[in-house]
């Protein structure tokens, strides 16, 4: 069975309580449950992780090679600052879909730059938690090619 890693970065553990006007009221546990349900319909096994620490995220990306067929990454604020995450993604040569709950292009100017986008298969933003489901569908389509 094809396995996908869903990886969440800093502050995403606070979903549901952190700025609900921006990020919604859905918790990270809700996101995980929604993703597991949808992954089952697609025939995917799922790993689901969250860390507030850049090095832990890098280690999880490295460990994905040989274990997972692809990664869905919501790197949070590291999206806009971390060349190290970009390099880790390039190093493992797995398809990555970048996800953001809010539309980063409609927010503050510093959020418009993504270091993940140049090494990602694609970017989904602005659709709330549904973006994760869309990313699973995108990987399913990518693997079907």
Half-sphere exposure of 35 (CA within 13 A, CB side): 29
What's the CA dihedral at 25, 28, 32, 38 to 10 degrees? 30
Q: Confirm whether 23 is a catalytic residue.
A: yes
Closest by Cα among 123, 145, 32, 143 to 79? 123
Q: Which of the following is catalytic: 78, 100, 115, 132? A: 100
| Dist. CA 51–CA 24, nearest whole Å | 20
Q: Is position 115 annotated as part of the catalytic site?
A: no
Of the candidates 23, 78, 115, 132, the residue annotated as catalytic is 23
H or E element, residue 2? strand 2-8
Active-site annotation, residues: 23, 100
């Amino acid at each position: 069975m094809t396995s996908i890693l869903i990886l969440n970065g800093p502050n995403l553990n606070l979903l549901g309580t952190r700025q609900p006007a921006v990020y919604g009221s859905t918790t990270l546990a809700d996101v995980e449950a929604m993703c597991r349900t949808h992954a089952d319909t697609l025939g995917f096994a799922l790993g689901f992780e969250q860390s507030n620490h850049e090095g832990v995220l890098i280690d999880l990306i490295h460990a994905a090679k040989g274990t997972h067929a692809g990664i869905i990454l919501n790197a949070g604020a590291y999206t806009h600052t971390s060349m190290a995450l970009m390099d880790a993604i390039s190093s493992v040569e797995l398809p990555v879909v970048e996800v953001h709950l809010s539309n980063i292009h409609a927010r503050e100017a510093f959020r418009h730059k993504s270091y993940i986008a140049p090494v990602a298969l694609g970017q989904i933003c602005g659709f709330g938690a549904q973006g994760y489901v869309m990313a699973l569908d995108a990987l399913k389509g990518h693997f079907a090619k």
